[in-house]
Amino acid sequence: MNTAAAFADYRRYPLISALTAVQTLADQVRVSWADGRVSPFHHPWLRDNCPCPQCVYTVTREQVLEIVDVPEDLAPAAARIDDTGCLCIDWQDGHASRFDPGWLRAHAYDDASRAERQAGKPKSRLWDSSLELPVFDYAELKADPQALLQWLLALRDIGLTQVRGVPTEPGSLAEVAKLIAFIRQTNFGVLFNVQSKADADSNAYTAFNLPLHTDLPTRELQPGLQFLHCLVNEAKGGESLFVDGFAIAEALRREDPAAFQALSEIPVEFRNKDRHSDYRCLAPVIALDGLGQVSEVRMANFLRGPFDAPMAQMPVLYRAYRRFIAMTREARFQVQRRLNPGELWCFDNRRTLHARHAFDPASGARHFQGCYIDRDELLSRILVLQR
């Protein structure tokens, strides 16, 4: 492995194909690869990505050069492939850059290379009531980084998992969360207790039925992962219910495109307030990424404010919103389980809607603890485990 790009990051860039030719044009350098691909690189791109220790501080691996520090029209004086297979550029101002072919191929932006990278990105696996629930054993997750990685990939791609064999002492959940990252604090605390309370500041802290929802749609960034850990569950009722919000959104897109469009375009306010806080967030129920893929669902009817939309949009918004809630109630989408002490749910709170049947607090004790971790932390942990 060539060391030219050793600075770059903790990733490896294996040699996919060797460089065979290099051609300098007016605004770009065009390289050819042994497998026939041709990748053009614009001059500023190459200068910007020079990995030499003058341009990148080797200790932090962070760039020191800013592209505006060199002339806009800076061009190569010479470009060649050296005897280690690296692309070498001598710049007109005397600077020299050397690029590892593995790194260069991994960052090539010709159409074929970009399409290849896009195709290699992880994809959500949609599910319905037939889901074979991914279940993991806490002892294995602690002992085996590969088991841990499998759990995290299931969280990323399926968005609903169960972990068993967790101690039932209050606070144990913090140790489970640490396997991924630090916990995201909210106004409900670091670990929150889900119990029926007389002075509830959320319907979650009652014995009511809770309809299918995401937690904290009231925040600009909904928590990425939600944990719900069962310590005691002796009360009648209180079963957990889940649906795949992405699957419902995609079904809605197929079955009622106008409703899908309304929910992905018209912003809705979610709000949560108590004596000490007043959170508000205005966003569509369905968020799409740059490619039009469903990237997030935001929904908790009991935290929603009055719709505020132009007159003409209000009927279509109500029709779409009714339809979405009606779909969350359809058996074809629902997974229902009762959680036992020592088990926990961990799920993608920006995708998987969860619900709880009403329970009877007079019939026995019920005590769950919960916490959140953001999606950034999950993805970072996966990348580190995959190194």
Residues numbered 36 to 65 that lie near its own copies (CB under 8 A) are: 40, 42, 44-45, 48-49, 57, 59-64
Q: Considering only the stretches 132-140, 169-177, 243-251, 318-326, report the one whose residues sit in contact with its own copies under the rule CB under 8 A.
A: 318-326
Q: Considering only the stretches 136-144, 217-225, 232-240, 250-258, report the one whose residues sit in contact with its own copies under the rule CB under 8 A.
A: 217-225
Options 15, 232, 325, 358; binder of its own copies; rule CB under 8 A: 325
Would you count residue 109 as binding its own copies (CB under 8 A)? Answer: yes
Q: Tell me how far apart the alpha carbons of residues 158 and 187 are, in angstroms, rounded to a whole number.
A: 28
Q: Tell me how far apart the alpha carbons of residues 144 and 177 are, in angstroms, rounded to a whole number.
A: 16
Options 1, 25, 67, 112; binder of its own copies; rule CB under 8 A: 67
Q: Considering only the stretches 146-154, 197-205, 235-243, 357-365, report the one whose residues sit in contact with its own copies under the rule CB under 8 A.
A: 197-205
Would you count residue 315 as binding its own copies (CB under 8 A)? Answer: yes
Q: Are 329 and 213 in contact (CB under 8 A)?
A: no
Q: Considering only the stretches 131-139, 171-179, 225-233, 302-310, report the one whose residues sit in contact with its own copies under the rule CB under 8 A.
A: 302-310
Pairing state of beta strands 294-297 and 38-42?
Answer: unpaired
Would you count residue 220 as binding its own copies (CB under 8 A)? Answer: yes
Q: Which of 255, 253, 276 is nearest to 263 (CA)?
A: 253
20 or 380: CB nearest its own copies: 380
126 or 378: CB nearest its own copies: 378
Residues 239-268 that bind its own copies (CB under 8 A): 267
168 or 193: CB nearest its own copies: 193
Task: Describe the chain by its helix, strand, coil percentages, rounded to 5.
Answer: 30, 30, 40
Q: Which of 179, 164, 142 is nearest to 229 (CA)?
A: 164
CB of 167 to its own copies, least distance (A): 24
Would you count residue 329 as binding its own copies (CB under 8 A)? Answer: yes
Options 10, 36, 132, 331; binder of its own copies; rule CB under 8 A: 10
Q: Which of 151, 160, 163, 184 is nearest to 348 (CA)?
A: 160
Q: Tell me how far apart the alpha carbons of residues 77 and 157 are, in angstroms, rounded to a whole number.
A: 47
Q: Tell me how far apart the alpha carbons of residues 300 and 304 are, in angstroms, rounded to a whole number.
A: 6
Number of residues interacting with its own copies: please give it, by CB under 8 A.
83
167 or 307: CB nearest its own copies: 307
Would you count residue 331 as binding its own copies (CB under 8 A)? Answer: no
Would you count residue 110 as binding its own copies (CB under 8 A)? Answer: yes
DSSP 294-318: EEEE---GGGB------GGGHHHHH
Residue 72 CA, distance from chain mean position: 37
Q: Are 373 and 225 in contact (CB under 8 A)?
A: yes
Per the structure block, which two tokens stand in for 68? 């505006």
3 or 340: CB nearest its own copies: 3
Q: Tell me how far apart the alpha carbons of residues 81 and 20 are, in angstroms, rounded to a whole number.
A: 8
Would you count residue 200 as binding its own copies (CB under 8 A)? Answer: yes
CA dihedral 6, 9, 10, 14 (to 10 degrees): -60
CB of 165 to its own copies, least distance (A): 26
Sheet with 210-213, edge to edge strand ranges = 210-213, 352-356, 240-244, 335-337
Options 26, 326, 331, 362; binder of its own copies; rule CB under 8 A: 326
Residues 120-179 that bind its own copies (CB under 8 A): none
CB of 317 to its own copies, least distance (A): 9
Would you count residue 12 as binding its own copies (CB under 8 A)? Answer: no
Options 302, 330, 336, 360; binder of its own copies; rule CB under 8 A: 302
Phi, psi at 56, each rounded to 5°: -130, 130
